[in-house]
Structure 1
Amino acid sequence: MTTVHRDEIQWERMLPAEFRAAMDKKPVIFLPLGTVEWHGEHNALGLDSLKAHELCVQAVHRLGGGVVHPPVYGGMGGLDKPATVIMEGEHAWENHLLRPWLETLCYEFHRIGFKAIIMVTGHYGHNQQIVVRETAVRMSERLGIPVFGSPEYWLALDEGYLGDHAGIGETSLLWHLHPELVRMDRIKDDPDYGADDVIKDGSSQALGMRYADCIIERLASLAEQMPSWQEERLYRYIRSERAIVAAQTRGWRHIGPWEFWRHIGGSAFVQYGQLLVDGEFEAIEQLARTLGREEG
């Protein structure tokens, strides 16, 4: 019997027998997304994809099956800083690169035989988040299998992680997942992130572990469930995720690009991650609609 080791769950490192064994155990594919972008003097430039990839790898280990696709570097938006690649504009409604790329990958995953797709973006540009979730909804409908697309922090909202850029949350996550890629001693040389001691004093490997454990557990739980979702459950899931996309774009149209996210902290929407793994899709839909009304 084939034993699946760490490297043997990563698609690009697998031999065919290892790929077949992983799919037989659980026909789920994880697709980590990110970009290369300035994340302060204290963090590696590939932070977004690095953390998304490692979270997916650890989720597959916890699941005991499945495959992790190589991380996709290149997304929407990015800071006007050195060593940053901006593939498409943060504030552009149109999308000509990321969405068709993700759709093509989803079609291929389905053709190969995967029964569920989980896309995890570690890059938080508002349009990146919308496009990833919107594409997941569209492909769930098109392919008839569940496709989940979200930034990883949405699975740890109830742990207090609301997303940031090279701040306490992201720095702590990378520090836990790849400790060699965080140099906190260098933050003092950064005029922005090192202007005060908030990030330096607030970040820790222990905090990163807390966030990561929550995210990994929920990713694994989703991956365990999703291949068995029948049509009725899949439709309920699609409705809930579509309601989120609608609320995000409504806030963007009427007020500003970050309007939906501005209401998450302190609201019942922080329960999203637990509601998702519990299959409480109607509750998610209602919470999204409630935030959408607040924005209007």
Structure 2
Amino acid sequence: MTRQIERLRPHQIRAQLAERPVVWMPLGTIEWHCEHLPVGLDALTAHGLCLRAAERGGGLVMPPLYFGTGGGHGGYPWTIMMQGASEIEAILTRTAERLGAMEVERLILVSGHFADEQLEMLDRFSETWNAVGTGPRIIATAVNRCPGADMAPDHAGAFETLLMHALAAELVDLSRLPRLDQAPDAFDRHDPQSPVWGVIGTDPRTVDLSEGERLMDRLTDWLTLQAL
């Protein structure tokens, strides 16, 4: 049976939550991730990780929230960022209130978008909510917080490219980038003329995509512990 809450009927939801009253909520953005990756990568990655963790550790997964905040590149093409945290916090508050009314005991927020502003918002929200002591206990984390990833988090570089490939290989197309020997990384990556425009981190053209499964397993193991 799927763990995606929007695809379940009420009796199925009740049965799953009776086993483990945990709900996972992935967060991300619509955001430029160079030419080789989908613009919904952050939310897609968080959603995929939550589904894998729920399969191992129990609970149900909410649909991903595709609007984040922060990062300093809101003007890039195909990028839609909220200008502040208030709109997102309102959605999180209402979600937590309603899940609490349905006797969910733990809400795990997992962000695939890990700009400083996004992480500060999630940490502040969870601390404020938990201090009141009502409704589900909230745990807030993000894909860049896995201590055993053995790879530095990035934006559209090796880390995010490998994770996306492990989850949905058909959404990654390195052929959209010029070959490294034909177009070396000699530009400011914030320059649209750069062959890896918008990539912050290791050039994705230098990685072995088969390494993505190992990285995904490490993150899934770590994330699963949040439900225990």
Whether these two folds match at TM > 0.5 is yes
Greater RCO (CA < 8 Å, at least 6 residues apart): 2
Which residue of 2 is the match for residue 66 of structure 1?
A: 59
The residue that corresponds to 2:194 in the other structure is 192
Deviations 1:143-172 (A, max 9, x none): 3543111111202x3332332110110111
Q: What does residue 225 of structure 2 align with?
A: 221
Confirm or deny that 1:129 pairs with 2:119. yes
Pair 1:17-2:17 in alignment? no
* Aligned-residue offset at 1:46: 0.2
The answer to whether the Cα contact below 8 Å between 2:36 and 2:172 also exists between their aligned partners in 1 is yes
Aligned length: 210
The structural deviation recorded for 1:203 is 5.1
Q: What displacement does 1:193 show? A: 5.1
For residue 86 of structure 1, what is the aligned residue in structure 2? 81
Q: 1:213 to 1:20 in 2, by over 3 A?
A: same
For 1:168, the equivalent position in structure 2 comes to: 158
Whole-angstrom distance in 2 between the partners of 1:121 and 1:162: 16
- How far apart in 2 are the matches of 1:85 and 1:211? 28
- Deviation digits for residues 63-86 of structure 1, max 9, x if unmatched? 2x3110000110103522111102
* TM-fit CA distance, 1:218: 2.0
- Structure 1 pair 161–140 and aligned structure 2 pair: CA distance change class (3 A): farther
Given the two structures, how large is their TM-score scaled by the length of structure 2?
A: 0.85
Task: Give the AA of the match of 1:149.
Answer: A
How high is the sequence identity, in percent, across the aligned residues? 30
For residues 229-284 of structure 1, give each alpha carbon's deviation from its aligned partner in whole angstroms, at most 9, with x where no partner exists: xxxxxxxxxxxxxxxxxxxxxxxxxxxxxxxxxxxxxxxxxxxxxxxxxxxxxxxx
> In the superposition, relative to structure 1, how do residues 215 and 112 fare at CA in structure 2: closer, same or farther (>3 Å)?
same
2:114 is equivalent to residue 142 of structure 1: no
CA contact (8 A) 2:149 2:219 kept: no
Q: Which runs of 5+ in 2 are unaligned?
A: 180-191
For residues 69-111 of structure 1, what are the alpha-carbon distances to aligned partners after superposition, in whole Å with 9 as ceiling and x for unaligned?
000110103522111102115xxxxx32122221221122111
Q: CA offsets per residue over residues 178-215 of structure 1, 9 Å max, x none?
A: 10100011122974353799321125232x22222122
Per the alignment, residue 271 of structure 1 pairs with: none
The structure carrying a bigger helix percent of its residues is 1
CA RMSD of aligned residues (A): 2.1
Distance 1:124 1:205 in 2: 24
CA spacing shift, 1:211–1:137, aligned 2, 3 Å: farther
**Residue type of the alignment partner of 1:42:** H
TM-score by length of 1: 0.66
Distance 1:166 1:34 in 2: 14
| Cα distance in 2 for residues equivalent to 1:81 and 1:205 | 29
Give yes or no for contact 1:33–1:48 (8 Å, CA) kept in 2: yes
